[in-house]
Structure 1
Amino acid sequence: MTPVGDPGPFSAHLGFRVLRADAEGAVVEADPQPEHLNGGGILHGGYLSALLDSATGWAVHGAGPEGMVAPHVTLTTQFLRAGTAGEPLQATATCTSLGRRICTTQGEITQGGRVIARATGTHAVILGG
């Protein structure tokens, strides 16, 4: 897959790469480093949540009309397994419904072929004008 474009300054700071964002969904990858670990030596939940936030946001932008802005209203994350530094993460997400004011998303992160986190979210739909 070829990167889609600029992931935004925050996502770029965390090293996220947008590989795909279209009507079918989004794929965002990351290479977690030791600075992304919590005090217990596993990936910080905030890092994983930020990756899910980015992937679900890109899924909405891929599904919606040009120029749409879609900030999160909610993001509910479930952590299933501990993630580690040094092994790539892949977040996949889809826009499950796209309404005039609200859309919904779902996503998951895998590491080494195992799901380590899942999320559902809602986004406000704001059309430029």
Structure 2
Amino acid sequence: MTTTVSSRTHSWAPQTLPSPEMSGLDFLQALLDGKIPPPPIAGTLGFTLVHVEPGVAVFEGETGEHQYNPMGSIHGGYFATLLDSALGCAVMTRLPAGRAYTTTQLGVHMVRPAFSHTGTLRCEATAMHVGRTVATAEARLTGVADGKLYAHGTTTCAVFPIAQ
């Protein structure tokens, strides 16, 4: 039996953390504009932030064999990570300067498998509530080529002051 081995490499810039003087939307817009490098996880898993506006964040990610689980489909953790990223950033777009967030609960519902030939997945998230200490958001993960729903999810985030 002959085994063909594939490889994939990526690189990343040192991470830039949000400044206490920038709103969440300003920080994410600077990332989109290329003024701030993307977080390392984006290169590791092959997804990127493509759009932000108040209360909304959109990511796109390419599917590939390097994301396969033992069953030969895209690992559910990839879906969960795309959802978590978009959900958190949707919350972040509504945070004023000096505030940060962290995910405290993530609910993921996978409705169909994706494969390397599925192509680009698009995750659109909307912040539903952003308060002083708690925020919630919901998102949908769909195929760009086929328009099908692959997963959907919700988050609850803790909101807190950025440590100075």
Q: Contact conserved, 1:109 with 1:117, CA < 8 A, in 2?
A: yes
Which residue does 1:25 correspond to in 2? 56
Q: CA RMSD in A?
A: 1.7
Q: Partner of 1:63: helix, strand, or coil?
A: coil
Find the partner of 2:156 among 114, 122, 126: 122
Aligned equivalents of 1:22 and 1:127: distance in 2? 22
Contact 1:23 1:63 in 2 (8 A): yes
CA contact (8 A) 1:104 1:123 kept: yes
The total of aligned residue pairs comes to: 128
Distance, in Å, in 1 between the alignment partners of 2:136 and 2:155 is 6
TM-score relative to the length of structure 2 = 0.73
Gaps of 5+ in 1: none
Q: Is the 8 A contact 2:55 2:91 kept in 1?
A: no
> 3-state DSSP class of the match of 1:40?
coil
Q: Which has the larger radius of gyration?
A: 2
Instruction: Give the equivalent residue in structure 1 for 2:130.
Output: 98
Structure 2 unaligned residues grouped into runs of 5+ = 1-28
What's the counterpart of residue 46 of structure 1? 77
Question: Where has structure 1 moved over 4 Å in runs of 4 or more?
Answer: none
Partner in structure 1 of residue 18 of structure 2: none
Match of 2:4 in 1: none
With the length of structure 1 as denominator, give the TM-score of the two structures: 0.91
1:68 to 77, 99, 108: 99
Higher relative contact order (CA 8 A, sep 6+): 1
Mapped contact 2:67–2:78 kept (Cα < 8 A) = yes
Q: C-alpha displacement at 1:45, in angstroms?
A: 0.4
Q: Distance in 2 between matches of 1:32 and 1:67?
A: 35
